[in-house]
Structures are given as C-alpha cells and as structure tokens.
Structure 1
Amino acid sequence: MSDVLFPELPGLEWDLTKAPSFNTKIMTSINGRELRASYQAIPKYDITLSFGFLRESKGRTELQQLEGFFLERRGAFDSFLLKMPDDHQFDCTYIGDGYTSIFQLYKNMHTAQIPLSHSQSFSRPVNPLMWNKRPVKSMWDGNAQKPMWNKATAGVTKNGQVILSEPLEDGQTMSISGTYYYRCRFKDDEQQYTNFMYKLWKANKVQLVGSLGNKL
C-alpha cells in the first residue's frame, strides 16, 4: 500500500464515472421476512477514467506516465492515492469542549459525514487574525490571563486527523479546509491503449476501485 499519487494528465475527459457500493448480506425466511447484515460501513467506488489523448515522445509524456504508473503498481497489486477531479476538497467545522485536541476529517454528503483517511498534511495557526502585532498592548480574556493572540496551531496529518497544539475552548468553533484523496487500485491486471494518430494515444477505460478509507 503506497502513498504515491495517480498522475494528473491533461487528456482526462469529462465522462468520468463513479459508482458507490456496499456489502450487505440478505437472508430471506420462508415467510418472506428479510434479515440484513451490513459488512461495510464505508462505501467502495468503481471509478472509470477516460483519456482522450496521451502524447508519446522520447521524453516523459502522458503515455509513458500512465503506462509506467500501471507497470509500477503491477496492475491491481499495489494501491495508490487519487485526487478525484472536483471531489477532493474538505471543509470541516469543529466545536470545542475544552479538552479534545484531535479531530477526524470528514466529507459532507447531504446529511451524512464520511470519515476521511487520506489527506494532504499541513500546519497553520488556529486563528492568525486574532494575533496582536503590537506586543505592548495586552488583550486578556477576563480573569483567565489568556491573551487573544496565543500561538495555537492546527496540523492535518496524512491519515486524516486534525491535531491541535492545545484544545479548543468549550463552545469555540474552528473551520479548516484542505485536500483529501481516494485510496485506489487498478481494477484489473491489464490496461489497453489505442494509437489513433501519430504519437497520439487514448485510453477509453482506466478502471479503478476506490475508497475513502483503507479497505483495499
């Protein structure tokens, strides 16, 4: 299981497909009553990408990038990370309770929240706009003797966690945004490319199996 990124190539067409699926065991009794058991909390996705053109030359171009990436993964053997077009931006809001300093990133899906397991890591101040650039001026919070320009930071790890240098105060909110990835593998052990013009190729179906978790 590697964290290498699927190459972003310019020939990607708009007819990208994504089909979420679950794993449910359904048992039916003689009278027709069903008993269902869910074996999967996070959906898997069948993803199909189409590349209208892949340039070929002696240098490193799109065909060599895509085919080389497939060969390095040994087909369906090794997994990788995919930055899904138009589906890779998280925007999470958390409310403090005075002691929690680690939060899980999530993706909003209507009324559901799907936990994210792969994200672009970074660290930043919790609220840099509250910092006072004039250290001679004191701004204190009541009798708590806590300056409003404290140096608290929030870091996002590559496994989808938000880690604060100090907990959010009770009722305090924090919003954070960034990039997340799908954990994917190639669906099959073979890949087809079509040469439709001199040094121009296309790949009509690059089929992947993906998940927002690690169940691959």
Structure 2
Amino acid sequence: MSDELFPELPGLEWELTKTPIFNTKIMTSINGRELRASYQAVPKYNITMSFAFLRESKGRNELQQLEGFFTERRGAFDSFLYKMPDDNQFECTFVGDGSTTTYQIFKKMHSLHMPVSNTMQMTQPINPNMWNQVETKNMWDSNIEKPMWNNEMAGISKDGKYMLNTPLAVGEVVTVKGTFFYRCRFADDEQQYSNFMAKLWKAQKIELVGSLGVKV
C-alpha cells in the first residue's frame, strides 16, 4: 500500500464516472418476502476515466508518466491515492467537550458525515480563543486558561485525524478545511494505449476501484 498520487494529466476527458457500490445479500422466501443483509457500511467506488491525448515528447511525456505509474503499481497489485476532480475538499466543524483532542475528518454527503481516511497532512498554530464563538468568553481577559497568544499546535494527519495538543474547552468551535484522497487500485492488470498521431496517444478506459477508507 503506497501513498503515491495518481498523476494529474491534462488530457483527462469529461466522461469520468464514479459508481458507488454496496454488497447486499438478498434472500427471497417462497411467499416472496425478502430478507436482506448488508455486508458493507460504506461503499466502494468504480471509477472510470479516459485521456483524449497523452503526449510523448522529451519535454512532456505524459504517456510515460501514466504507463510508468501503472507499471510501478504492478497493475492491480498495489494501491495508491487519487485526487478526484471536484471531489477532494472537506470542511469539518468540531465542538469542544473539554477532553477530546482527536477528531475524525469527514466528507459531508447530504445528511451523512462519511469518514475519510486519506488526507493531506498539515500542521499549524491554533488559538481557539481568537476564533471562539462563545460570546460569554472575553478574548482579552488575562485570567483565561488559554491566553490569546500561545504555542498550541493542531494538525491533520495523513490518516484522516484532526489532532490538538490540548483539548478544546466545552463549547469552543473550530472549523477545519483541507484535501482528502480516494484510496484506489487499478481494476485490471492491463491497460491499452492507442497511438492516433505522431507523438500523441490516448487511453480510452482507465478503471480504478476506490474507497474513502484506509484499504481497498
């Protein structure tokens, strides 16, 4: 399992598709009544894309990038990270309870909060009092436990956790933004590239199997 990123190449066509898939066992009795059992709490995704052109020149060898990446993964053997176009940003709001220092990053999906397990790492200073939304707390009060200027740090780990050195006070609110990735593998052990013009190739069907979890 690698953390290599799928190359972002300019020839990606708009026909990119994403298909959520669950695994449900359905048993039907003689009278027609169904019994169903769900074997997945979160979906896997079939992702299909195509590249209208892959240049093969000394300055811009996108064919070599894609084919080399596929070869390094040994086809479907090794997984990698994929930054889905227009589906790679999270915005999470957490409310302090006085004790929690680690929060799960999530992706908002309608009324669901879908946990994501592959995020871009980030570390930065944090000052909950500066951005506190509790009106009764005085930003400039010298008696507060957490002064306005302090050395507290917060970070986003690569496995989807927002972590603080010390817990947020009860009622303190923090909003975190960042980038998440799909954990993917190639669906097959083969790829096809077509040479349609001198130094120009296309890849009509690149298929991935993906997940928002740690493994796929």
1:144-183 deviation line (CA, Å, top 9, x unaligned)? 4541223322100000000001101101110010110000
Taking the aligned partners of 2:112 and 2:34, their CA distance within structure 1 comes to: 25
Taking the aligned partners of 1:16 and 1:209, their CA distance within structure 2 comes to: 13
Q: What displacement does 1:128 show? A: 8.2
Aligned pairs for 1:130-209 within 5 A: 130=130, 139-140=140-141, 143-209=143-209
1:80-126 deviation line (CA, Å, top 9, x unaligned)? 00011111111110011010010000000010111000000011122
Equivalent residue number for residue 43 of structure 1: 43
Q: Does 1:30 align with 2:57?
A: no
Structure 2 residues without counterparts, runs of 5 or longer: 132-138
* Contact in 2 for aligned 1:20/1:43 (Cα 8 Å): yes
After TM superposition, what 4+ stretches of structure 1 lie above 6 angstroms from structure 2? none
Aligned pairs for 1:34-183 within 5 A: 34-58=34-58, 61-127=61-127, 130=130, 139-140=140-141, 143-183=143-183
* Contact in 1 for aligned 2:21/2:45 (Cα 8 Å): yes
Structure 1 residues without counterparts, runs of 5 or longer: 132-137
The number of equivalent residue pairs is: 209
TM-score normalized by the length of structure 2:
0.91
* Contact in 1 for aligned 2:128/2:172 (Cα 8 Å): no
Alpha-carbon RMSD:
1.9
Taking the aligned partners of 2:87 and 2:127, their CA distance within structure 1 comes to: 26
Report % sequence identity: 66
Deviates more, 1:25-34 or 1:9-18: 25-34
TM-score normalized by the length of structure 1:
0.91
